[in-house]
Structure 1
């Protein structure tokens, strides 16, 4: 099932009308395909959906988590600090009325992808981990990732970007864990930390 089919199936299940689904998909595709999106694009969404499919049985609110995946980076401007909040607000604004759906969970889940901190709701922890799985890729793939991030922040010169990026990466290392679920910690924590340390070394 491709991304559009997955999206269509989800919105049909939630209670969107067919014409709304088509229009919303075109809006979503346009947002994630903006030429400034080198990493935060449909490829990133597709990677997260793969994680979602793998760990579907672990989720208590699968529809809400999948909807949050599709919309968590809907608004993305590298010069702004409220992308997640704006994305969460937008995601809720297009929901049909009278649906059986935990919109508050969606809102909290999308906002949680800003700080990536442990959440009382376990489904949100899964979403955070899906978002950060990229950190544990093989070095060649990880390198492509951080080069894509650099392109998204191309408006900033190196003397501003490098310290800012290093600070953000060090924040991950200072936390007791990068990943919020035990499963991801066991599988990916060590690799992610090694990658982050290597990137920081390149920035300094």
Structure 2
């Protein structure tokens, strides 16, 4: 976890944080604890790390990679599987803006990170938003996994929603899958789209059809 704390501190410093290292470490520890809450099965530290790894890999595509990294840290900082609509994303965005300002990050930067977080509710971005595109693409990278990885992902999602009856879960999950498949492109940035689009669509279609 030490390296994970360092990654948060580095991103916060790059975004303008002015508090001392101990306060940054404490904030990172608080976030890691949030990502480790018992109700989480998929939206865990492993997911956070995977998203950060994609952002690092394609950081040159972003205008402000440090903001994208902070948005990754915050995008599921508040997560309740029983929440309705986009409540988790909305609450996470509000939390992000407040926390970053307490760390000394300039208000406009904190507001922009909150905006990025809010995009993960529907993964819809406007034109000329490379930061938002990279965050959303990184969040959805799991959809392009191989058969084993995708099966592990769907199993974790089902465990996270264990409180939902099977029929209701299938109906809700089908809505999510259809919404993703109806996007003009699941991945917005060309290098990621070229690598992952076909595989992700095949995985989503197979799940929607109940195959495998």
Q: What TM-score does the superposition give when structure 2 sets the normalisation length?
A: 0.90
Unaligned stretches of 5+ in structure 2?
Answer: none
SS in 1 for 2:30: helix
The worse-fitting range, judged by mean Cα deviation, of 141-150 and 101-110 is 101-110
* Structure 2 counterpart of 1:107: 114
Deviation per CA, 1:5-60, whole angstroms, max 9, x where unpaired? 21122234432322321221221111110111111011111111111111111211
The within-5 A match list for 1:122-137 is 122-137=130-145
* Structure 2 counterpart of 1:160: 168
* Structure 2 counterpart of 1:21: 24
Distance in 1 between the 2:193 and 2:25 partners? 38
Cα distance, 1:3 vs. partner?
Answer: 1.4
Distance in 1 between the 2:133 and 2:123 partners? 8
Unaligned stretches of 5+ in structure 1?
Answer: none
SS in 2 for 1:76: coil
Q: How many residues align?
A: 203
SS in 1 for 2:210: helix
- Residue in structure 1 matching 2:37, options 21, 34, 39: 34
Contact 2:61 2:130 in 1 (8 A): no
Contact 2:39 2:81 in 1 (8 A): no
Contact 1:12 1:18 in 2 (8 A): no
Q: What TM-score does the superposition give when structure 1 sets the normalisation length?
A: 0.93
Distance in 1 between the 2:156 and 2:121 partners? 18
Contact 1:32 1:40 in 2 (8 A): yes
Aligned in 2, Cα 1:60/1:71: closer, same or farther, shift over 3 Å? same
The alignment status of 1:96 with 2:101, answered yes or no, reads yes
Distance in 2 between the 1:25 and 1:188 partners? 31
Which ranges of 4 or more aligned residues in structure 1 deviate by more than 4 Å?
Answer: none
Distance in 2 between the 1:12 and 1:103 partners? 13
Contact 2:101 2:110 in 1 (8 A): no
Contact 2:42 2:156 in 1 (8 A): yes
Contact 1:76 1:83 in 2 (8 A): yes
Cα RMSD over matched residues?
A: 1.7
Contact 2:11 2:67 in 1 (8 A): no
* Structure 1 counterpart of 2:199: 191
Distance in 2 between the 1:172 and 1:108 partners? 21
